[in-house]
Amino acid sequence: MLDKFITPIIKPLLTPVVMLMHKRGITADQLTVVGFLVGLLAVPLLAFEMWYGALVAIALNRILDGLDGALARYANQSSSAGGFLDITLDFLFYAAIPLGFILANPEQNAIAGSLLLATFIGTGSSFLAFAIAAEKFKLEKPQFKYKSFYYLNGLTEGTETIALFIAFCIWPQHFAIMASIFAIACGITIFTRIHGGYHTLKQQEAAENVPSSANSEVIND
C-alpha cells in the first residue's frame, strides 16, 4: 500500500551509491545474492534472541535490495533473469524472518508465526500468478514502470512488511499478537488481489474476444 509513495523518495538517495558501485564493476545480480545472504544471517541471530543484530541484518538486506534494482537500471542491466532472481530471494527472505522468531520461542510464537507464513504464501502466490498473466496480456505498469514484472498492489506490500520486521525486533515479546494482526491484513490483501486480479483478467479476455466475434458476424453476413 505504501510502496508507491516510499519508492520515489528513496530512489534519488541511492543514486550516488549506485554510481560508485557501477564504477567499481559491481553488478546488480551480485548485490541481490549478497543482500540475500546478509538477510539470512538474521535467522540465527533471532533464534539466539540477538534482536538488534538481526535488525541490522534485516536493514542491510533491504538497503541492498533497493540498490540492486537501481544499479540494474543505471547500468542498463535490467533483465527478466535478474528480476526473477530478485523476487525469488526476496520472498525467501520474507519467509525466513518469522521462522527465526519461531525458533527463538516455539511455544509462544509457533502458531502465530505459522499463520503469518501461510498468509505470506497467499500474498506471494497471488502476486506472482497475476504477474504471469499480466505479461501475457502486456498490461501496463503505471505505478511501477521500472519493475521487470507487473507489480500488483495490496494492503500489505514490501514497506509494510519491513516495518513489521523492525517492530518484531524492537518488541519481540509482542511477536505473536503483531504477527496475528498482520496475517489478517495479509488475508485482506489475498482476497483483494484474487478478486481484482480475476476480474481484470476476465475483462482482458473479453476484450480480446470482441474483435474475433465481430469478424465472425461480418463473415456470416
Report, as residue numbers or ranges, the catalytic residues.
Answer: 90
Give, in order, the Cα–Cα distances in Å from 25 to each of 22, 31, 65, 86: 5, 11, 18, 19
Evaluate whether 190 touches 122 at the Cβ level (below 8 Å): yes
Give, in order, the Cα–Cα distances in Å from 211 to each of 122, 207, 216: 35, 8, 9
User: Which residues lie below 8 Å from residue 52, measured CB to CB, with a gap of 6+?
Assistant: 169
> Which three cell numbers, joined as nine digits, stand for 27?
553488478
